[in-house]
C-alpha cells in the first residue's frame, strides 16, 4: 500500500482516450487514480482504482489488471449495506439477495481479492449527489470528491476527462462541478 505524503500529488485519470502523455509529470510519491477497467489508450499504472460495483456492474464488468500496480488499492463505490438497503438505486429484494451472494464471488473471479479493498464512505456519495442534484454521480466525480475531502492539502490533477459516457450520469452537471473546482483552484486539469 502506497503512503500519501504531504508532497504527493494525485493524478486522477479519466477513461477518455489519451491525447497527450503526462507520465513525465508523475513522481514516485504521487498517486495515480484510475477507474473500473482502465482505458488501455492511457498506460499509466494505477495506485488506486475506483470501481463501480453495483448490481448490474458486477454482472457485466470485467476487470483487467494490466494497469494495476501490484500494491494497488481498490475503492468500491458501494458497500453491501448500500445495496441491501437500496440507498442509491431501487433494486428488488430478490436481486439484493443475489448480490450478497454474487459480490464476493465476483471479487474472487475478478482477482480483486489480491489488493487492499476499501469502500467509499456514504458521506462522499451523498455529498456528490447533493452537489449534482442527481442520484448517480460518476465514479470519477466520486473519486475526485474523495481526494478533495480526505487530502485537501495535496495537489489534485485531472486528465482525460471529457464528461461523456454512461447515459445515467448527469454529464453537464459534472462538467460544471469540475469547472467550479478548477476555478476555486482546488483541482487542476491537464
Q: In the prediction, which pLDDT does 169 show?
A: 54
Q: In the prediction, which pLDDT does 170 show?
A: 63
Q: In the prediction, which pLDDT does 161 show?
A: 85
Q: In the prediction, which pLDDT does 60 show?
A: 81
Q: In the prediction, which pLDDT does 61 show?
A: 81
By the 8 A CB rule, do 44 and 69 touch? no
Q: In the prediction, which pLDDT does 171 show?
A: 65
Q: In the prediction, which pLDDT does 23 show?
A: 95
By the 8 A CB rule, do 144 and 158 touch? yes
Q: In the prediction, which pLDDT does 65 show?
A: 87
Task: Concatenate the DSSP letters of all residues of 31-55 into one string.
Answer: EEEEESS--TTS-PPEEEEEE---H
Q: Which domains does the chain have, with CATH numbers?
A: 10-189 (3.90.1480.20)
What averages of pLDDT result for each successive group of 10 residues across the chain (190 residues)? 94 90 96 92 95 85 90 93 84 91 93 96 91 84 96 96 61 86 95
pTM score, two decimals? 0.92
Q: What is the DSSP letter of 76?
A: E
Amino acid at each position: 500500500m502506497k503512503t500519501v505524503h504531504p508532497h504527493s500529488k494525485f493524478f486522477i485519470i479519466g477513461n477518455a482516450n489519451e491525447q497527450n502523455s503526462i507520465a513525465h509529470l508523475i513522481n514516485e510519491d504521487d498517486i495515480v487514480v484510475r477507474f473500473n477497467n482502465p482505458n488501455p489508450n492511457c498506460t499509466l499504472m494505477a495506485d488506486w482504482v475506483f470501481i463501480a460495483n453495483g448490481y448490474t456492474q458486477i454482472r457485466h464488468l470485467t476487470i483487467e489488471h494490466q494497469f494495476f500496480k501490484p500494491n494497488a488499492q481498490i475503492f468500491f463505490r458501494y458497500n453491501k449495506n448500500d445495496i441491501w438497503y437500496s440507498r442509491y438505486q431501487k433494486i428488488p429484494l430478490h436481486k439484493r439477495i443475489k448480490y450478497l451472494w454474487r459480490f464476493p464471488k465476483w471479487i474472487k473471479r475478478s482477482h480483486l481479492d489480491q489488493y487492499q479493498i476499501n469502500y467509499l464512505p456514504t458521506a462522499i456519495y451523498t455529498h456528490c449527489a447533493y452537489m449534482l442534484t442527481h442520484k448517480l454521480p460518476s465514479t470519477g466525480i466520486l473519486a475526485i470528491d474523495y481526494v478533495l475531502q480526505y487530502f485537501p492539502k495535496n495537489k489534485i490533477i485531472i486528465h482525460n476527462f471529457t464528461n461523456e459516457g454512461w447515459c445515467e450520469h448527469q454529464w453537464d452537471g459534472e462538467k460544471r462541478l469540475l469547472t467550479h473546482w478548477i476555478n476555486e483552484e482546488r483541482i487542476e486539469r491537464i
